[in-house]
Structure 1
Amino acid sequence: MTALTRRCFGMLAGAGVASLAAPSFLRAQGAPHVVIVGGGAGGATAARYIAKDAGEAINVTLIEANPQYTTCFFSNLYLGGFRSFASITHGYDTLAANYGITVVNARATAIDRQARAVRLADGSRVAYDRLIVAPGIDLIYDSVPGYSEDATGIMPHAWKAGPQTQLLKSRLDALEDGQQIVIVPPPNPYRCPPAPYERASVFAHVLKAKGHTGSRIIILDPKPKFSKQALFSEGWEKYYPGMIEWYGPDVHGGIKGVDPAAGTVETDFDTFHGALVNVIPAQRAGRIARDAGLADDSGYCPIDPASMRSMMDENIFVLGDAAIAGDMPKSAFAANSQAKVAAMNVRGDLIESKVFPARYANTCWSLIETDDSVKVGAQYAPTAEKIASTSSFISQTHEASEVRKTNYEESLGWYAGITADIFGA
């Protein structure tokens, strides 16, 4: 484990006793109950930090439809052959066994804010004193004309990790030399801003390793610019000259639609054909948050910058991709950071523990080629209007190879550390 892992995400010994289907011990009678919907970087972190720091003074229930969680972060490294699928897949057993968290593998379908209860798919209800909502994103399939949920089997998005990620990799690995890839990134705001361009990089890495010199990757972007653009452009020219072509809207004139059966993307400029077409549509907060009235007209959920408390309901906190988090990007690092602030405020609400001023952080690493990783990050603090950046950094062009290799090693330590911090393993 690297120094970064130990410093930022070192595990503390848990005091909880095992609990999965039902607790093997009795919590304090009448202890307040916190329910968390969503077991990703935000939700699972919040569950662990509340249970770890409150002990038996608060009952914690984590509701997550899937028994295992595949991280969207680092899934591009799986696509590029740098990691196995198993290495980005994590379970919840340690949260139950070591922290006394009740893990409910079921789909939460609705929130009754008046009754303070979450309804599950089987019709049962779980009452709460405080609720943390971390449902991630929903994809707006029809934001790209011609695209649909049915089309994802032909034009995978792989923006929710799992079977879609495996499908995209199988399609990538099956490509023959000379066949073309077309990527349609999403408009802002969306999960992990640099990720579509890291994905193009690892696609190119796979093609280059196979000697597919005749293949091309076309990026048809709805945005006029993108995160780390100068760094990616430099890397593509260095490692994959002539293989990756990025077109902004000033060139392609707008994406008119896709034809999944034909494998085409039509723009005002031209129609592009891909043996593999990766469409990543626009996004919004997960449906359960929107249906509960926690989102505004943007499709995302406004929060109090100092606490992550919903602006729509004082008994609810919203984390991660679903939240309007000011200057913070929608990333796993950001969600993990936000979860610790929310957990502290939940404990303050329910057991009057001390609440300290909120501080947030984020770093995003992107792999361009083997041992060449670039990063961007910032520190944040709440203002009256939003979570605002207080300082920031970004990799520079023309950096030494040793710096880029160190970045990559740092990212590996971060992944090991943050997944331990989230899942307690």
Structure 2
Amino acid sequence: MTQPLEASAPYAEQMDAADPLASFKNQFHFPQHQGKDSIYFCGNSLGLQAKSVSAAVAQELEDWRNMAVEGYFRARNPWLYYQYNFSKTLSGMMGCSEDEVTVMNTLTVNLHLILQSFYRPGKERFRIIMEAGAFPSDQYALETLVKLHGLDPDNAIIEIKPRPGAKLLETADILETIHTHRDSLALVLMGGINYYTGQFYDLPAITAAAHAAGAYAGYDLAHVAGNIPLRLHEWDVDFAVWCSYKYLNGGPGAAGGLYVHERFGNDASFPRLAGWWGNDESTRFKMEKGFIPRKGAAGWQISTAQVFNMVALKASLEIFDAAGMERLREKSLRLTAYLESLLKQSPLPCEIITPADPQQRGAQLSLFFPENGKAIHAKMMEQGIICDYREPGVIRLAPAPLYCSFTDVYRFYEVLRNF
């Protein structure tokens, strides 16, 4: 930043008054604190409930009550085609065709399923590269995956660590590791954003390096979906998975998302595990054996659409459509920059470990506290500011642009400054 932004409540209020997206805050329910809305910086763990969700759930309950099985065909949102409600919005967010994206299952289930297609180790190519300190589910998934193939995780999984004394990964180190193991590499699987540091990795460069090494490139986009606009097809990413309960506000345990590049989705011979919801719709109800995959990512569908586990996501994505992902990203950059500017204006007992480059982060700053991190987090919660604490010593702040304001950011700074 060229100059600090003003650290005052009137300035923050002025920024909010000029914000064209400010009114979207009114479309969400907030946890209450002493009779007022809390300040909510935890959208990177669980997004807020849209006020439209109750009516959306009531509609599906009414159709189930009045139509029973006929709801698959005659409901206001026919259940037989429910998964298609998400294709247009998600394809815009992810930067791909509607056929390349679908909604199903949950994140780690989808990861296990898609790895059955993209991890087929041979005698020479069997190694997987991932970042050290990835979210535990990804670590567990890969550990058990290689064991299922009779391999030793300590040999088959290569974890890239930050340089000594650093908390962030250098893109050059990721690319060098891929090149070093090019002859034995089968797959690169990384989080799009590291949950702890908030670092957004260079997906185009990593993907290109993996392909140059003869390996597949896939990503867990749990902390990216609904946060940063992507161009997965243009970047030639092979596959990606994500959850819907963080920035996408789909509710706890909401259905996950899946992207598969069209060169695999349009190849009926590409290996996969199958269920009848992934079968070609024209033959699905013939009840015959012989799997014929649907075109695109939908060919990895397994079971009937989880309507009541998708309805809140449908309501939230309608708000995303109204706000516009590019406009949300622009506001997110300004919100996070304001938070960063405030934190740098006073000698505070923390270090920002999220990259300073706005293009290498989303709606998150991770603050490392060498001391008293838990106590400071508790103080925030007592003041009605909801954020989360992760060991060791990090408070994560996620000012999600749909429902966070510049005044929210200033209030956090004010409490921290007076701790």
| TM-score computed with the length of structure 2 as normaliser | 0.26
Q: Whose relative contact order is higher, 1 or 2, with alpha carbons under 8 Å and at least 6 apart?
A: 2
Higher helix proportion, which one?
2
| TM-score computed with the length of structure 1 as normaliser | 0.26
